[in-house]
Structure 1
Amino acid sequence: MRIGTGFDVHAFGPGSHITLGNVRIPHDHGFIAHSDGDVLIHAICDALLGAGALGDIGQHFPPSDPQWQDCDSTVFLRHCQQLIEQRGWQVGNIDCTIIAERPKIGPHVAAIQQRLAQIMDLEVDQVGIKATTTERLGFTGREEGVAVQAVCLLLKG
């Protein structure tokens, strides 16, 4: 077994929605990001890469590279999972905590779980999604952005 952790943050900017786990969530802001800004998928990618001792998402998809501008983050996730699987590992489970005051994540958890399970070819019960706030403290508490923590367990395939 191997365990990896990931963490990512994106600030709010102009927009009418955010994307978490490839699910579009209406909001009065969007994310400021080079790609589509899917902070949840980015944290999962780092957890996968960390478990495989394969660096981080920035090494594989540098924000300085224009080919990743506005890229759908599922491209990153599929690539990271493929790297893991090529080395004989499979995902046992992922567990994520989305940290945000707004938008409220609870109503979207089931859709996010289902979408991530579909993208990663996992069962829904292998994808844990939780949401919390910081009780109005810090940048997430001031509603300046969203943070995500992710952990994954890899099993030898």
Structure 2
Amino acid sequence: MIFKVGFSKDSHNLVEGKEITLGGIKIPSSQAISAYSDGDIIIHCLAESIFGSMGLEDLGENYNSKTMEKNFSSLLMLEDAKKILLQNNCKISNIDILVELDYPKLTQWKFKIKENLSKILNIKLNQISVKATTTENNFPNIITSYCNILIYKSEEK
């Protein structure tokens, strides 16, 4: 077996709004994520970590104002990353995600995000972890996500 690791980090500013989207789940909030896309930083990190594990460039190379319409769904990035994994006969061993956000608290949303990502990627719930922490109000206007992924490919044909 061949194992590969991918890692990504993404940060965005928070602005006045009505909801944020994380892992494809819309979460009520007094803030929104400022981004060219829908701002789903969990999806950004996850897709980019998959790209990294495959030795590919960062998201900005392919998903930008020249190639995508404003407010496009970040799920497009993840679908592309999933296709690349399939084309290369690679499978996901596990995913570890951490979101850093002061408000809203993500306690009640973490499992829903985990379930949604599990369904999108067709992996078991125990192959993905979604954790949340705060900045202790040091950076209340920023949201950050980190993602590690381990993928594998069997050498057998």
Deviates more, 1:92-101 or 1:78-87: 78-87
Gaps of 5+ in 1: none
**What is the TM-score with the length of structure 2 in the denominator?**
0.92
**Larger C-alpha radius of gyration, 1 or 2?**
2
Gaps of 5+ in 2: none
Q: In proportion to residue count, which structure has more helix?
A: 1
1:12 matched to which residue of 2?
14
Deviates more, 1:84-93 or 1:15-24: 84-93
Aligned-pair identity in percent equals: 28
SS for the counterpart of 1:106 is coil
Tell me which of 3, 6, 27 is aligned to 2:5.
3
**What is the TM-score with the length of structure 1 in the denominator?**
0.92
d(CA) in 2 for partners of 1:5, 1:16: 30
Tell me which of 47, 58, 82 is aligned to 1:45.
47
d(CA) in 2 for partners of 1:58, 1:81: 18
d(CA) in 2 for partners of 1:117, 1:155: 17
Deviation at 1:81, TM superposition (A): 1.6
d(CA) in 2 for partners of 1:74, 1:66: 15
Amino acid at match of 1:2: K
d(CA) in 1 for partners of 2:22, 2:92: 20
d(CA) in 2 for partners of 1:44, 1:60: 15
d(CA) in 1 for partners of 2:69, 2:6: 24
Describe how 1:105-124 pairs up with structure 2 within 5 A. Answer: 105-124=106-125
Work out whether residues 96 and 148 of structure 1, in 8 Å CA contact, stay in contact via their aligned partners in 2. yes
Work out whether residues 105 and 131 of structure 1, in 8 Å CA contact, stay in contact via their aligned partners in 2. yes
2:141 matched to which residue of 1?
144
d(CA) in 2 for partners of 1:105, 1:65: 33
Work out whether residues 8 and 149 of structure 1, in 8 Å CA contact, stay in contact via their aligned partners in 2. yes
1:101 equivalent in alignment to 2:102: yes
d(CA) in 2 for partners of 1:132, 1:49: 25
1:130 equivalent in alignment to 2:128: no
Tell me which of 136, 150, 155 is aligned to 2:152.
155
Deviation at 1:125, TM superposition (A): 1.3
1:15-51 Cα deviation digits (max 9, x unpaired): 1000000001110011111110001110111111111
SS for the counterpart of 1:67 is coil
RMSD: 1.2
Amino acid at match of 2:120: I
Deviation at 1:66, TM superposition (A): 5.7
1:54 matched to which residue of 2?
56
Deviates more, 1:65-74 or 1:145-154: 65-74
SS for the counterpart of 1:45 is helix
Amino acid at match of 2:145: V
Describe how 1:27-46 pairs up with structure 2 within 5 A. Answer: 27-46=29-48
Aligned residue pairs total 152
Deviation at 1:152, TM superposition (A): 0.4
